């Protein structure tokens, strides 16, 4: 199993849509960025790429590339899913926290979960999204920006054995924690 963490932050500005988790939320400001600046989806992508040791979103989708200007972050998330599949990783779960003073996120979280689950091809119970404020403190508390943290757990498809009916988890391919002497390996 592999754990990944991701963090993203974007400045709030006038004249931009406020998009988080692929949901456009009515608000007087939006997030500034090269793409749609979807802070949640960016943090999720970085946690997935980090767990798989595949770099980060800046490496795969640089803000100097015009191909990504204004692009939906859900399109980028689809490419991250493809990278995980190419490297035989399965998503166990994702847990993310949006940090924003305003607007209230709770009404939009179900749609955010559905969007991310749909793109990644996972079940709703594999993605959790929550939101918090910073009680008026810091740049998020002052309404200057929005931040997001994400954690994920991946497993490698190489750690599963198929027996004509189902998959069974076999543990890490080299034994527990990569050692060759794990007693569980011989069971």
37 annotated as a binding-site residue: no
Neighbouring residues of 169: CB distance < 8 A, sequence distance ≥ 6: 155, 159, 160
38 annotated as a binding-site residue: no
17 annotated as a binding-site residue: no
106 annotated as a binding-site residue: yes
61 annotated as a binding-site residue: yes
CA distance linking residue 116 with residue 130, whole number of Å: 14
What are the structure tokens assigned to 186, written together? 């011989």
102 annotated as a binding-site residue: yes
163 annotated as a binding-site residue: no
88 annotated as a binding-site residue: no
10 annotated as a binding-site residue: yes
24 annotated as a binding-site residue: no
140 annotated as a binding-site residue: no
58 annotated as a binding-site residue: yes
178 annotated as a binding-site residue: no
112 annotated as a binding-site residue: no
What are the structure tokens assigned to 76, written together? 């980028």
57 annotated as a binding-site residue: yes
Q: How buried is residue 62: exposed, middle or buried, by Cβ count under 10 Å (0-12/13-18/19+)?
A: exposed
157 annotated as a binding-site residue: no
Neighbouring residues of 9: CB distance < 8 A, sequence distance ≥ 6: 39, 139, 145, 146, 147, 148
64 annotated as a binding-site residue: yes
Q: Which residues are part of a known binding site?
A: 8-10, 34-35, 42, 56-58, 61-65, 100-106, 132-135, 139
Q: Which residues are part of a known binding site for a divalent metal cation?
A: 8, 10, 42
């Amino acid at each position: 199993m592999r754990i990944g963490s991701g963090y993203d932050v974007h400045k709030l500005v006038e004249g931009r849509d406020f998009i988080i988790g692929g949901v456009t939320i009515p608000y007087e400001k939006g997030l500034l960025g090269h793409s749609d600046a979807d802070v949640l989806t960016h943090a999720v992508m970085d946690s997935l790429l980090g767990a798989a040791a595949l770099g980060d979103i800046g490496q795969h989708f640089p803000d100097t590339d015009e191909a990504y200007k204004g692009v939906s972050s859900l399109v980028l998330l689809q490419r991250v899913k493809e990278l995980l599949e190419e490297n035989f990783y399965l998503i166990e779960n994702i847990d993310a926290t949006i940090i924003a003073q305003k607007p209230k996120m709770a009404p939009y979280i179900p749609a955010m979960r559905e969007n991310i689950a749909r793109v990644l091809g996972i079940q709703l119970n594999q993605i959790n999204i929550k939101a918090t404020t910073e009680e008026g403190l810091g740049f998020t508390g002052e309404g200057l920006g929005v931040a997001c943290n994400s954690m994920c757990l991946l497993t490698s498809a190489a750690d599963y054995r198929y027996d004509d009916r189902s998959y069974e988890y076999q543990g890490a391919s080299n034994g527990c924690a990569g050692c060759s002497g794990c007693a569980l390996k011989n069971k």
